[in-house]
Every structure is written in C-alpha cells, then in structure tokens.
Structure 1
Amino acid sequence: MRRSFAFKTTVLVMGWVLAAIACAQIPAYTFWPAIFGALTLPVALALNLLLVGYWLLRRWPVALLPLAVAVLTWPHFQRGLALHPFKLSNAPVPANGPVVKVLSANVRIFNVYPQLRNEGLQSSKAMVKWLQDTPADILCLQEFYNEPAGTRTQDGTVFRTVDKIGREAGREAFLSKTLTNSAGAEFGMAIFSRFPIVHRGTINFGKLTQNHAMWADVRLPSHDTIRIYSFHLQSMSMDEKDIVDSYSSKAGLRQKGAGLLRRFKRGAIARHWQVDTLVKRFNRCRYPILLCADLNDVPYSYSYDQLADNFQNAWATVGNGVGSTYNGRLPFVRIDNQFAGSRFSVEDFQVHYEIPYSDHFPTTATYQLRPPGAKR
C-alpha cells in the first residue's frame, strides 16, 4: 500500500511539474490565475527530485520516471537555483572575439527623496562614485536621476550624474527622460558606453513613464555593432510591509490579502503585455542583442519565460545559487536580470551585494561576441 501511494504521488508530482511549466507560458491578460500555477513550479521541481532519491532507495526502475522529468526540466530548475560548481569566476576570457562587460542597476533615483536620504547624502555619493569608477564598458541604469547644470538645487553637484558617470568617466551618455520637474531635474533611464553609440531610441508602453524600454546600438573596437536594450517593466505597486504582514498572521492576510491580489493581478497583466511588445521588437533586430532588465517578476513567470525562450539568462548560464537581487525583507527574490543572444558566450556574472545603496543590488556580466555561425 505504501508503494502504491508513493507511486500515485510520484505521478501526481510529475503532472504538477508539467502543468506549472504550462502555466508559465500563459500570459495574465489571457488567464490571470495561471500566474499562481507557475509560482508553484519550484516546489514541484524540488519534490520531483526528492522522489528520485526515494525510488532509488526503494525500487530503482521506478526512479527512471521522475529522473526523466528532472532531466527534461533541468533548465527550469536552473532558473531558480543555478548550479555550476566548476565555473571559475573572474577567470581570464580567451581571446576568441571582442569582450564586453555590462553593468545593470536600478539606482532608485540615487536616494534623492527625503525619506531615502541619509546624513550628508553619503549613500548617494557612494553610489555615484562606484558607478563612475566601475570598469564596466556599458552601464544600464533604471530609475535614473540627473540634475543638469542650471538645476535649482541646494545639493551642489552631488546629482550631476550624467556628467560624472558619463563624460568624466570617459563614457558616452544616452538619457531617456520621462519627466523633468519644475526645478529642472531629470528622471528616467540611462545607458552609458565607453564605445560609440551609433543609434538610439526608446520604446514606450502607451504613455511614456518610468516603466519603458530604451536601446542603443554600440560600435565595438572590432567594428562589430551590438544592440543593448534596457527596460523596466511594470511594478506590482505592493508595499513590502503589506506583503510581510499578509503572510505573518491570519489577521494580516484578511486585512491586506484582497488589495495585494488586485495589485498583483494588474501588475502581471501589464508586465506580460509589455514583455510581448518587447519580444516582437527583439525579433526584428539585425544585431547581436544584450538585455538588461528590472523585470519586477521572478524566474517562474511568463515575463521571464518569454525572454528565457529566446535568450540566455546570464545568471542561469554561469551562476551558482539563487542570485537574489532584491535588497529588502523578502528573501531569495531575483527580479533584475541580464540576457544575451545566441552570438554571445556568457563568461561571468556577479551580483554586487557589497553595494547596498538601493533596494536592488547591481549586477555585472562579461560577454564574448562569437563570429557569425560559431557554435556554442
């Protein structure tokens, strides 16, 4: 009876894995409850691996069933928990093609708002200085803030960020502005490059807001042109404290649950439409592509799935562990990602936990551009 129950459980778990994978391919604007099916995938994958071990000890031929599922779904496992124990970080990159180092970060407007500031604007100064000094060739910064010359401010040159991270650091700057306030300060996103930017543009999702995309065509010293996309998808507009309260107690769930669910649903519908819009643009691009994104979505989601189906995720390709990028009370959350097209090999990827000045940790990746037709 125990074996019969265990076998039925195994079949159910295998079906659960496949159903959850299917849910991750359904956009929320088509059937929004599928979001929650996709979110259960890590649990289903973990249970399937446990069942492999169980049957290897009990009756090894049966273990072949969950083992086959584990092998076939291993790329999905790697999305949430990357395992590359023999990958040497910072190892020298063989000289088989041009190498590009890319940094992506949501800088949270450099903490300019009163509730984000600390004494002497130390976090703002440290963040700008670190970005100014980073050896990365290309920087993609979301939630960017700049005070150009002439801005009416009492902060001096602390937030003269385009000049400091751009010209003073030997980089060309492309600022995609979504708002200029009454004092003359600029909000939006930015791309900085040590290589020439030969073309540039923005992609808005209806009205131009901080949730939009920008792109730049960059000419490498090898005379190859690559395209960098940076984008910031719709946030959930969910307060971290409300989320923590909702799962900390029954009273918190009753009080916060319905409102969180509505916001979660609206955010997911917007993100899934936005990512579909972007994928269509990516498919029309004739250059090798690199993507930097604040997805505001986890690896087990439609947004991530659409990108992972067409591009290599840098962390899943060379990283080890969860690779969480959210700097807050919610653990193991990776919402900031870099992706690379098939012409690139991913050589290294790092999450900079030593840079805690925003609610997102910066990420850097090293890519090598292979010749056309070269095999991975």
Structure 2
Amino acid sequence: MRRSFAFKCTLLVIGWLLVAIAAVQIPARTFWPAAFVALTLPVALGLNLAAALYWLLRNWRVAALPALVAVLTWPHFQRGLAVHPLHLAGAAPKATAGQRVRVLSANVRIFNVYPQLREKDPASPDKMIRWVASNPADVICLQEFYNEPRPSRHDGRLFQSVDRIGEQTGRQVFLSRTLTNSIGAEFGMAIFSRFPIVRRGTITFDKLTQNHAMFADLRLPSGDTIRVFNFHLQSMSMDEKDIVDSYSSKAGLKAKGLGLLRRFKRGMVARSVQMDTLMRRFEKSPYPLLLCADLNDLPYSYSYDQLADHFQNAWATVGTGVGSTYNGALPFVRIDNQFVGPQWVVDDFRVHYEVPYSDHFPTTAEYRLK
C-alpha cells in the first residue's frame, strides 16, 4: 500500500515536471498563467531527483523511470543550479586556439549618482567607475549607465564615465542615450570595446526607455567580425521591501500580495514581447553573437528559455552553484546573464561578489571564437 502511494506520487511529480517544462515555452503575452506554473519547475526537478533516490533504495526497476526523466531534464536543472566541479577546481581543459575575447557585463545603477543610493558608502560611485575602467575586459556592456559629459560643480570629473572608462583606457564607446537631463547628464546603456566598432544600432521596445537593446559590430584582430548585444528587459517594478513583507506574515501577504502579482504579471507579459522582438533580430545576424543582459527574469522563464534554446549560457556552461547576481535581500536570484552562439567556446565565467556597489553584481567571462 505504501509503495503504491509512493509510486502514484512519483507519477504526479513527473507529470508536474513535464507540465512545468511545457509552461516555460509559452509566452506570457499569449497565456500569462503559464509563467507562474513555470516558476515551480525547480521544485518539480528537485522532487523528481528525490523520487529517483527513494526508489534506488526500494526498487531499482521503478527508480529507472525518475532517473531517466532526470537525465532528460538535466539541461533544465543546470539552468538554475550548475554543476561543473572541474571548472571550480581549475582543472577543466581550456581551448588554446581561437581569438580570445574577455567580456564584462554589469547593471551599474547609474553609478549611485543620487545621494540615497550611496548612503552606505559615499565613495561607491568612484569605486565602481574605477573598478570597471581598470578591468582587463576587451568588451564592457553596462546597463543603467550614467555619464556627465562636462565636469560638475559639485562632483568635478567624478561622473565623466565615458571618458574614464573609454578614452582614458583606449576603448571605443557606443552610448545609447534614453534621456539627457537639464544639466546635460546622459542616461542609457553603453558598450565599450578595445576592438574597432564598425557598426552600431539601437532597438526600442515600443518607445525608447531604459529597457531597450543596443548592438555593436566589432572587428577582431583575427579579421573576424562579431556582433555584441547589450539589453535590459522590462523591470519588475517591485520594491524589495514589499516582496519581503508579502511572505513574512499573513497580514503582509494580504496587503501586498495582490498588487505584487499584478505588477509581476505585467512585467512577464512585457518581457515575453521584448524577447520575441530580440530573437527575430538575433536570427538575422550575419556574425557570431555575444549577448549581455539584465533579463529581470529567472532561469525558469520564457525569456531565459528562448535564449537557452539557441545559445550557450556562460554560467550554465562552466559555473558551479546558483550564480546569483542580485545584490539584495532576495536570495538565489540570477537575472544578469551572458550568452554566446555555438561558434564560441566558454573558458570562464565569474560573478564578482567582491564588487557590492550596485544592486547587481558584475559578471565577467572569457570566450574563444572557434
């Protein structure tokens, strides 16, 4: 009787897992409840592994079913919890041939230009810009970028970030401006490159906001041309405190929960539309692609799934662990990613937890063009 009940539970878990995988592939713009089902995928994956272990101790013949499902769904498991112990130990073989490209991607939160963003560390803007500028990366992609073309009366040359990261380090710059304020300060995104930029462009989602995409074609020393995309998908528009309050008590859930769900739904719908727009652009690229993004979405989402189906995620390829990139109270949140096409070999990928100046941790990677 107990075994019969356990077997039925195993079948239910497998069914749940398959439904969740199918839900990941459904854009929220066509059926938004699927996005919430997709978020349960890591739980289903974990329970299926637990079922496989349980039946290995009880009946190896029955264990073959959840074990086979675990093998077939392993790529989905790797999306949220990568396992590459050889890379972690530095023992994995690295490619020796091919043009090497080092990449840095970071959401820099406008370099904490506003006083309330630098209350904990008043020197954080200078520290952040210095760290980015001194990084050995060949290509730097920055989201939520901020630049003051002229010295400020209060901050001097502190926020002349285009000059400090670009011209002073020998990098070319493509700045995609979304706003220029009354003092001439520029907001947007930026790509810096030690390689010549031979073409550039901006992709808007309905209208030009901080959530948009940009690309630059770079000519490598090998003579190859690559296309780098830097994009920032629709923000969740949810305050971290509201999220924490919603699950900390029943009163908080009642007061905050419904509003958070509505905003979460709107964000998921917008990101599914934006991702479909970008995928059409990616398909038209004549060059090997390298993608840097603040997805504002988890690895078990439609946006991530579309990218993972066509590109290599750098963390899932060589990382070990969750690889969380959000610097806040919400744990295990990886929303900042780098992806590359099949023409690339991923040698290394790191999340820089030692650089806590923004609400996102920077990521760096090393690639080789095959």
TM-score, normalised with respect to structure 1: 0.96
Letter in 1 for 2:253: L
Task: State the partner residue of 2:223.
Answer: 223
Task: List gaps (5 residues or longer) in structure 1.
Answer: 371-376
Letter in 1 for 2:231: F
Do 2:232 and 2:294's aligned partners in 1 also have CA atoms closer than 8 Å?
A: yes
Task: List gaps (5 residues or longer) in structure 2.
Answer: none
Do 1:238 and 1:263's aligned partners in 2 also have CA atoms closer than 8 Å?
A: yes
Do 2:95 and 2:345's aligned partners in 1 also have CA atoms closer than 8 Å?
A: no
Do 1:246 and 1:252's aligned partners in 2 also have CA atoms closer than 8 Å?
A: yes
Task: State the partner residue of 2:306.
Answer: 306
Task: State the partner residue of 1:144.
Answer: 145
Task: State the partner residue of 2:167.
Answer: 167
Task: State the partner residue of 1:102.
Answer: 103
Question: What is the percentage of aligned positions where both structures have the same residue?
Answer: 72
Task: State the partner residue of 1:116.
Answer: 117
Task: State the partner residue of 1:75.
Answer: 75
Task: State the partner residue of 1:189.
Answer: 189
- Structure 1 CA distance, aligned partners of 2:19 and 2:106? 34
Do 1:146 and 1:162's aligned partners in 2 also have CA atoms closer than 8 Å?
A: yes
Do 2:215 and 2:227's aligned partners in 1 also have CA atoms closer than 8 Å?
A: yes
Do 1:90 and 1:348's aligned partners in 2 also have CA atoms closer than 8 Å?
A: no
Do 2:271 and 2:303's aligned partners in 1 also have CA atoms closer than 8 Å?
A: yes
Do 1:144 and 1:190's aligned partners in 2 also have CA atoms closer than 8 Å?
A: yes
1:56 aligned to 2:56?
Answer: yes
Which is further off, 114-123 or 17-26? Answer: 114-123
Instruction: Specify whether residues 120 and 365 from structure 1 end up closer, same or farther in structure 2 by C-alpha distance, changes over 3 A only.
Output: closer
User: Which structure 2 residues correspond to residues 311-326 of structure 1 after superposition, within 5 A?
Assistant: 311-326=311-326
User: Which structure 2 residues correspond to residues 202-351 of structure 1 after superposition, within 5 A?
Assistant: 202-351=202-351
User: Which structure 2 residues correspond to residues 86-97 of structure 1 after superposition, within 5 A?
Assistant: 86-87=86-87, 88-89=89-90, 93-97=94-98
Instruction: Specify whether residues 120 and 94 from structure 1 end up closer, same or farther in structure 2 by C-alpha distance, changes over 3 A only.
Output: closer
1:42 aligned to 2:39?
Answer: no
- Structure 1 CA distance, aligned partners of 2:144 and 2:260? 23
- Structure 1 CA distance, aligned partners of 2:316 and 2:42? 15
Do 1:152 and 1:184's aligned partners in 2 also have CA atoms closer than 8 Å?
A: no
Letter in 1 for 2:140: L
- Structure 2 CA distance, aligned partners of 1:49 and 1:117? 44
1:247-300 per-position Cα deviation (integer Å, ceiling 9, x unaligned): 000000000011101100111100010000000000000100000000000000
- Structure 2 CA distance, aligned partners of 1:91 and 1:257? 45
Which is further off, 287-296 or 79-88? Answer: 79-88
- Structure 2 CA distance, aligned partners of 1:339 and 1:135? 20
1:22-42 per-position Cα deviation (integer Å, ceiling 9, x unaligned): 010111111111111100000
CA shift for structure 1 position 92: 8.0
Which is further off, 72-81 or 93-102? Answer: 93-102
Runs of 4+ in structure 1 off by over 6 angstroms are none
TM-score, normalised with respect to structure 2: 0.98
Note the aligned Cα RMSD (angstroms).
1.3
CA shift for structure 1 position 121: 3.7
1:133-167 per-position Cα deviation (integer Å, ceiling 9, x unaligned): 00010000000000002x65411000000000001
1:27-84 per-position Cα deviation (integer Å, ceiling 9, x unaligned): 1111111111100000000000011111010011000000110000000000000000
1:65 aligned to 2:87?
Answer: no
SS in 1 for 2:206: coil
Do 1:108 and 1:143's aligned partners in 2 also have CA atoms closer than 8 Å?
A: yes
- Structure 1 CA distance, aligned partners of 2:91 and 2:179? 39
Instruction: Specify whether residues 365 and 90 from structure 1 end up closer, same or farther in structure 2 by C-alpha distance, changes over 3 A only.
Output: farther
CA shift for structure 1 position 94: 3.6
Do 1:216 and 1:229's aligned partners in 2 also have CA atoms closer than 8 Å?
A: yes
- Structure 2 CA distance, aligned partners of 1:344 and 1:215? 18
- Structure 2 CA distance, aligned partners of 1:305 and 1:119? 36
- Structure 1 CA distance, aligned partners of 2:366 and 2:351? 12
Instruction: Specify whether residues 350 and 172 from structure 1 end up closer, same or farther in structure 2 by C-alpha distance, changes over 3 A only.
Output: same
Task: State the partner residue of 2:126.
Answer: 125
CA shift for structure 1 position 306: 0.5
CA shift for structure 1 position 90: 9.3
- Tell me how many residue pairs correspond in the alignment: 369
